[in-house]
């Protein structure tokens, strides 16, 4: 007969801590903790350098499904597009018009569109898994993936600065803004260096990570409380599960919106940083 600790471990691997956390042996409600939600045990290749836990599998699945859907929609493009091709072209057109061309202009936007499109749809695919039953955790709700994405954005805007403006122009524009008295550079240049080369990637990673992590914890709290009132306590106390269940539905809609919004904001800011780095004059 498995113990409560065993059940908790299995539930954590299958994304059922929502319910187990709410109903321990003492019959009291235990809200979700960061360690309980994100310190995930290995599911495949446990104890090896190739260990995969639930969130890694969710990330791989999300990207695989996204790539498959685009391949399915665009594998046989036609002049008169079908339903799948129309949706794919509409989605790509949104990134092209609203982000790439809108921020970078048509010429530069065409050059960086593949990167920006991959970033937008990749982030969205990993974000939306937070509300998909059976997955229920966003691939970006652990700091590792946001850091990787921020590093990609960091490399992209530095590359754009070197490639489009030239190394000297890029560093001059970044660290020595024109129209400032020379003596002010003693104070301004270190501030600009920290802001551009440290704060930018850190803020990109933290913004995405914190939004998705907090959203996940709120969903766990709402549905965990519902499980506690309805299943653990039962009886008249089950009525208290109605507002928590409604709160869970509302938070699900909020997370759906946040999944799109955070993908858009991250990609848009990346495009803005590329545009600023590529400018030959300020």
Write down the pLDDT at residue 50.
78
- Distance CA(282)–CA(266), nearest Å, equals 23
Q: What pLDDT, in 10s, does the model give residues 1-20?
A: 334 343 333 334 334 444 44
Give pTM, 2 decimals.
0.85
- Distance CA(128)–CA(257), nearest Å, equals 9
Q: Are strands 42-44 and 52-53 parallel, antiparallel or unpaired?
A: antiparallel
- Distance CA(258)–CA(251), nearest Å, equals 10
Tokens of 166: 């030239």
Q: Tell me if residue 47 falls in helix, strand or coil.
A: coil
Q: What pLDDT, in 10s, does the model give residues 239-279?
A: 888 899 999 899 999 999 999 999 999 999 999 999 999 98
Write down the pLDDT at residue 232.
80
pLDDT beneath 50: ranges in the chain: 1-25
CA 145 and chain centroid, separation: 8
Contact 132, 121 (CB under 8 A): no
Alpha helices for the chain (secondary structure H): 4-13, 17-20, 34-38, 54-74, 83-95, 101-128, 144-160, 167-175, 185-194, 200-227, 241-278
Considering Cα of 237, then 240, then 244, then 249, what sign does the dihedral take?
Answer: positive
The length of the chain in residues reads: 282
Considering Cα of 132, then 135, then 136, then 142, what sign does the dihedral take?
Answer: negative
Write down the pLDDT at residue 19.
44
Q: Tell me if residue 152 falls in helix, strand or coil.
A: helix
212-248 as b/e, with b when 16 or more CB fall inside 10 Å? Answer: bbebbbbbbbbbbbbbbbbebbeeeeeeebeebbebb
What radius of gyration do the chain's Cα atoms show? 23
């Amino acid at each position: 007969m498995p113990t409560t600790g065993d059940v908790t471990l299995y539930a954590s691997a299958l994304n059922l801590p929502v319910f187990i956390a709410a109903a321990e042996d003492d019959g009291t409600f235990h809200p979700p903790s960061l360690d309980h939600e994100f310190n995930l045990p290995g599911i495949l290749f446990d104890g090896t350098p190739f260990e995969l836990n639930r969130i890694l599998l969710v990330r791989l699945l999300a990207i695989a499904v996204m790539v498959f859907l685009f391949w399915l929609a665009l594998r046989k493009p036609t002049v008169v597009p079908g339903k799948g091709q129309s949706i794919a072209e509409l989605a790509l057109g949104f990134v092209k018009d609203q982000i790439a061309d809108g921020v970078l202009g048509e010429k530069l936007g065409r050059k960086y569109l593949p990167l920006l499109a991959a970033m937008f749809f990749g982030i969205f695919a990993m974000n939306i898994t937070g509300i998909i039953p059976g997955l229920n955790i966003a691939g970006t709700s652990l700091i590792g993936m946001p850091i990787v994405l921020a590093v990609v954005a960091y490399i992209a805007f530095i590359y754009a600065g070197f490639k489009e403006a030239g190394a000297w122009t890029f560093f001059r524009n970044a660290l020595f803004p024109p129209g400032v008295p020379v003596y002010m550079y003693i104070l301004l240049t270190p501030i600009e260096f920290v802001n551009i080369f440290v704060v930018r990637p850190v803020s990109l990673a933290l913004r995405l990570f914190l939004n998705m992590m907090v959203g996940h914890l709120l969903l766990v709290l709402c549905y965990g409380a519902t499980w506690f009132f309805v299943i653990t306590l039962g009886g008249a106390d089950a009525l208290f599960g109605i507002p928590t269940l409604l709160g869970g539905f509302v938070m699900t809609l909020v997370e759906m919106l946040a999944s799109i919004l955070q993908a858009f904001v991250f990609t848009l800011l990346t495009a803005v940083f590329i545009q600023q780095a590529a400018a030959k004059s300020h």
